[in-house]
Structure 1
Amino acid sequence: MNTVRRFAVPGGWTAALLVGLVIPFLVSDYDLLDLTRVLTLAMAVAGLNLLLGHSGQISVGHGAVFGLGGYAALIAVATHGWPWVPAVLAAGALCLVFGLLIGGLALRMGGANLGLLTIAVAAVFPLVVIRLKSTTGGTFGVSLARSGLEPPPGTGLTPAQFGFLVSLLVLGLTLFLLRNLVTGASGRALAAVRTSPLLAAANGVSVTRVKLTAFAVSSAVAGVGGALYALALAIAVPDSYQIALSITLLAASVVGGSRTWAGALVGAAIVVYLPTAAENVVSGDSSGNWAQLVYAGGLVLCLIVAPTGLVGGFTRLLGRIAHILRTSSHSVPAALPGKEVR
């Protein structure tokens, strides 16, 4: 029964997937590109949710991992002529190895060094990309003449439609795998490490292995998202992967809800559409600053009002409303036979 429950897909997610499959045929290619950005960024945020919400670790460098996956896939396609599928898989594998190296080094150093080390990675990544000009294109980056997610001949799909559908299916598979990872024995180990590493170790849980696995899987997920992001946009430049991206992804995880997978989508949507909303309200160069101010304000507000994020807070609110309705319905006295309740 537990196995069936682990591999069952909730009805809400099934409905969301079915709606997503219809969206490419209802909106323009321009809007689809923004929606594809939401889906691919949601993978990076979902990886952070695994790390932050389920293993109790923090990373301020997932923007760099996201960029590493994007550069790896784009270089494989643009320079070496790889098809996009092996390019994305290779990018995910590279980020998995990178996560093992960084996570292993941080755990060996001990303490809160994972957060400090990932900050350094996020700060150094754009500089390294610029220095490796012969491979990465330096400040001009790597680009393709058209989308790296070209549809197969005969499908009748545009590159934007195909890119969206691929990103949707990959995100759905990613969330399904992550959901199964945080349930069962592995989920109990993650919960124990998040709650108390000392108590987890006393109960036979390998804290180092659990933490390292979570960071490596989180990095691989972010790398796959970054690969699809770069291929959909057909470009990767160092300015897109500054340390601000890492901070924004972390804020998106907290604001959306680091313990919920739906929170990854909500947080990614905020990342994509908040700057546009700020530009509509405040024109000019100051719109970006206003967007960052809203990020900061939203983060503080969530920490105070909804510590579990927007999705978690909304779920708790619905639970309270349902509880009040059940309580009020039970408090109504039953009518006696032949008598009217006034």
Structure 2
Amino acid sequence: MNTLRRLAVPGGWTAALAVGLVIPFLVSDYDLLDLSRVLTIAMAVAGLNLLLGHSGQISVGHGAVFGLGGYAALVAVTKSGWPWVPAVLLAGALCLVFGLLIGGLALRMGGANLGLLTIAVAAVFPLVIIRMKSTTGGTFGLSLAHPGIQPPAGTGLTPAQFGFLVCLLVLALTLLLLRNLVTGTSGRALAAVRTSPLLAAANGVNVTRVKLTAFAVSAAVAGIGGALYALALAIAVPDSYQITLSITLLAASVVGGSRTWAGALVGAAIVVYLPTAAENVVSGDSSGNWAQLVYACGLVLCLILAPTGLAGGFTLLLARVARTTDSPSAPAHLPVEKEVR
């Protein structure tokens, strides 16, 4: 049974990847666009999971990092004529450097200043984008005539199908990278820093380097997700990257489960499909407010009923069931006293 349990997780991810490779040929291009949004937002949430669930840090500015990646990719494509692959790589590298700068500054300031600094970044980012009108298009943003991720000639795939497959494979590689980062020596260092930075430092862990690396990698992952998001939608506007996006991503990480990579997908699906569900229930302009109310209620209920998130709670439930199944029952003929002993 223990062997089956160890094989269940990689087997489940392999099955999910196989299903994902088939989905583009079963649903419409419109549905694929929403699914691509789920995959790209899941990258940003996965980056937050590394930060929040595995290093004990908090960021309320990942929406700005997500937007920085999107704008960097679209500027490279629209202004410089770059292909989408180097544009995505540029976005990831730029967000990595941005993460190093912001993380380093916050660590120098000490205390809880990372969270405060990222709030400021999230609030200022849309204003900076609007001010840089000649590069970013101001309030109108940047747009492409067609999706930025185009399939190679002769594949027979539509842009929506190819874009979804690219986002799926990039997310799979991202989750594999993050999983490897939180295991082994680096994983033990992250766990020690999350549990007690002072105790970790006493045991020879470079706390500053571990925290800075986690934040920089988290920012790079969010930037790549933002680049693919903007290229898949073929547009980036400042209103899409308000501070509410950062709060929503943080809520998605908590509700989905900040200690599980499956929680990133669960949280991203909530971010994408909850507003649509709210619009189906409540028509008109008030639907957006109802969606925010459901976010808040879901977050509170999750903190009360499933502190480890929806995916984390489901995993714990399966583990509890497996332990119950594995535990041998006491022989029926023994007296009650001996069974207790």
Task: Determine the C-alpha separation between the residues in 1 that align with 2:216 and 2:149.
Answer: 26
Alignment of 1:69-148 (within 5 A): 69-148=69-148
**Which string of whole-angstrom CA distances, capped at 9 and with x for unpartnered residues, describes residues 27-69 of structure 1?**
0000000000000000000000000000000000000000000
> Partner amino acid for 2:215?
F
Task: Kindly provide the amino acid, as one letter, of the partner of residue 50 in structure 2.
Answer: L
Name the SS for the 2:258 alignment partner. coil
Give the superposition deviation at 1:332.
6.3
Matched, 1:40 2:43: no
Q: Equivalent residue of 2:129, what SS?
A: helix
Q: Provide the C-alpha distance between the structure 1 equivalents of 2:79 and 2:21, rounded to a whole number of angstroms.
A: 32
Alignment of 1:223-242 (within 5 A): 223-242=223-242
TM-score under structure 1 length normalisation: 0.93
Cα offset, 1:333, TM superposition: 4.1
| Long gaps (5+) in structure 2 | 1-7, 334-341
Using the TM superposition, give the Cα deviation of residue 331 of structure 1 relative to its aligned residue in structure 2, in angstroms: 4.2
Q: How far apart are the structure 2 equivalents of 1:214 and 1:320? A: 31
Map of 1:295 onto structure 2: 295
Q: Which residue of structure 1 aligns with residue 329 of structure 2? A: 330
Could you tell me how far apart the structure 1 residues matched to 2:234 and 2:326 are? Answer: 53
Q: CA RMSD, aligned part only?
A: 1.5
Aligned mates of 1:131, 1:50 — CA distance in 2? 32
Take 1:218 and 1:227, find their aligned partners in 2: how far apart are those partners? 14
Match of 2:153 in 1: 153
**Equivalent residue of 1:330, what SS?**
coil
Equivalent position SS for 2:73: helix
Alignment correspondent of 1:199 = 199
- Specify the alignment match of 2:20 in structure 1: 20
Normalized against structure 2, the TM-score is what?
Answer: 0.94
Segment drifting more, 20-29 vs 295-304? 295-304
Q: Partner of 2:29 in structure 1?
A: 29
1:273-312 alignment to 2 at 5 Å? 273-312=273-312
Counterpart-to-counterpart distance in 2, 1:95 and 1:198: 29
2:174 maps to which residue?
174
Please list every run of 5 or more consecutive structure 1 residues that lacks an aligned counterpart in the other structure. Answer: 1-7, 335-342
Residue 256 (structure 1) aligned with residue 231 (structure 2): no
Q: What is the number of equivalent residue pairs in this alignment?
A: 327
Give the whole-Å Cα distance in 2 for the aligned partners of 1:176 and 1:323.
27
Q: 1:192-234 deviations in whole A, cap 9, x for unaligned?
A: 0000000000000000000000000000000000000000000
Q: 1:80 deviation in Å?
A: 0.7
The equivalent of 1:339 in structure 2 is none
Question: In the aligned structure 2, how far is the partner of 1:312 from the partner of 1:300?
Answer: 16
Q: 1:319, CA displacement in angstroms?
A: 2.3
C-alpha separation between the residues in 2 aligned to 1:332 and 1:226? 58
Amino acid in structure 2 at the alignment position of 1:138: G
**Which amino acid in 2 is paired with 1:330?**
S
* Residue correspondence of structure 1 range 202-221 to structure 2 within 5 A: 202-221=202-221
SS in 2 for 1:210: helix
Q: Deviations over 1:267-306 (max 9, x none)?
A: 0000000000000011111110111011111111111111
- In structure 1, what is the Cα distance between the partners aligned to 2:320 and 2:241? 41
Give the distance between the partners of 1:332 and 1:251, measured in 2 at CA. 48
Residue of structure 2 equivalent to 1:162: 162
Q: Distance in 2 between matches of 1:322 and 1:166?
A: 36
Q: Aligned equivalents of 1:319 and 1:138: distance in 2? A: 51
Following superposition, the deviation at residue 317 of structure 1 comes to 1.7
Report the more deviating stretch, 297-306 or 110-119. 297-306
Distance 1:174 1:138 in 2: 32
Cα offset, 1:320, TM superposition: 2.4
Distance 2:331 2:317 in 1: 23
Residue in structure 2 matched with residue 187 of structure 1 by the alignment: 187
Q: Distance in 2 between matches of 1:320 and 1:198?
A: 33
* Deviation per residue, 1:170-199 (Å, 9 max, x gap): 000000000000000000000000000000
Quote the offset at 1:322 in angstroms. 3.0
For the residues of structure 1 that align with 2:294 and 2:129, how far apart are their CA atoms?
30
State how far apart, in whole Å, the 2-side matches of 1:55 and 1:61 are: 16
**Residue 244 (str. 1) matches residue 244 (str. 2):** yes
